[in-house]
A and B are shown apart, each in its own frame.
Chain A
Amino acid sequence: MRKTRLTALLAVFLLALASLVVAGCGDSDDDTTASGGSGSGGGEALTVGSDIPYPPFEQGKEGNYTGFDVELLEAVGKAIGRDVEFQDTSFDTIFLDLARGNFDVVASAATITDEREKTVDFTNPYYISEQAILVKEGSDIDSVEKLSGATIGVQQGTTGQEFVEEEVGTDPRKYPQGPDAVSALQNGTVDAVVIDIPVAENAVNASEGLETSTAIPTEEEYGFAVAQGESELLEELNEGLEQVIGDGTYATIYKKWFKRDPPKEIETATHEAT
Chain B
Amino acid sequence: MQEFINQFFDVGFMVDHFDEVLEGFWVTIQLSVLSGILALIWGLILATLRQLPGKGFMPVRAVTIAYIDVFRGIPLLILILIIAGGVPALEFLPESLRLPQWFGKPDNFWFGVLAITITYGAYMAEVYRSGIESVPGGQMEAARSLGMSHGQAMRNVILPQAVRKVIAPLLNDFVALTKDTTLVSVIALSEVTQVANDIQSETFNSSALVLGALLFLAVTLPLARLIDKLIAREQGRFTRGAPRVEAL
Q: Which residues of A contact B200 (CB under 8 A)?
A: 92-93, 96
Q: Which residues of A contact B107 (CB under 8 A)?
A: 189
Q: Which of the 9-residue segments A67-75, A137-145, A173-181, A194-202 touches chain B? A: A173-181
Whole-angstrom CA separation of A92 from B99 in the bound complex: 28
> Knowing A156-B197, A183-B85 touch, does A189 contact B204 (C-beta < 8 A)?
no
> Knowing A92-B201, A115-B202, A174-B188 touch, does A189 contact B99 (C-beta < 8 A)?
yes
Please determine whether A188 and B190 come into contact, CB atoms closer than 8 angstroms: no
Q: Which residues of A contact B46 (CB under 8 A)?
A: none
Please determine whether B186 and A176 come into contact, CB atoms closer than 8 angstroms: yes
Q: B188's contact among A96, A99, A175, by CB below 8 Å, is which?
A: A175
Please determine whether A189 and B88 come into contact, CB atoms closer than 8 angstroms: yes
Whole-angstrom CA separation of A153 from B88 in the bound complex: 15
Q: Which residues of A contact B89 (CB under 8 A)?
A: 186-188
B133 in the interface (beta carbon within 8 A): no
A86 in the interface (beta carbon within 8 A): no
Please determine whether A187 and B188 come into contact, CB atoms closer than 8 angstroms: no
CB nearest to B101 among chain A residues: A151
Whole-angstrom CA separation of A183 from B187 in the bound complex: 11
Size class of the contact patch on chain A:
20 to 34
Tally B residues with Cβ within 8 Å of A. 21
Whole-angstrom CA separation of A92 from B107 in the bound complex: 24
- Classify the secondary structure of A's interface with B: mixed
Whole-angstrom CA separation of A95 from B205 in the bound complex: 11
A105-132 interface code vs B (CB 8 A; 1 in, 0 out): 0000000000100110000000000000
B84 in the interface (beta carbon within 8 A): yes
Please determine whether B198 and A157 come into contact, CB atoms closer than 8 angstroms: yes
Min CB–CB distance A90 → chain B (angstroms): 10
A45 in the interface (beta carbon within 8 A): no
> Knowing A96-B204, A187-B89, A189-B108 touch, does A171 contact B198 (C-beta < 8 A)?
no
Whole-angstrom CA separation of A189 from B197 in the bound complex: 22
Whole-angstrom CA separation of A173 from B106 in the bound complex: 10
Whole-angstrom CA separation of A151 from B99 in the bound complex: 12
Closest 7 CB pairs between A and B?
A: A157-B201, A92-B201, A173-B188, A187-B88, A187-B89, A188-B88, A119-B204
Known: A92-B198, A92-B200. 13 other contacts (CB 8 A): A91-B201, A99-B204, A153-B188, A156-B198, A156-B201, A171-B190, A173-B108, A174-B198, A175-B187, A175-B188, A184-B188, A188-B98, A189-B88
Binding site for B on A (CB under 8 A): 91-93, 95-96, 99, 115, 118-119, 151, 153, 156-157, 171, 173-176, 180, 183-184, 186-189
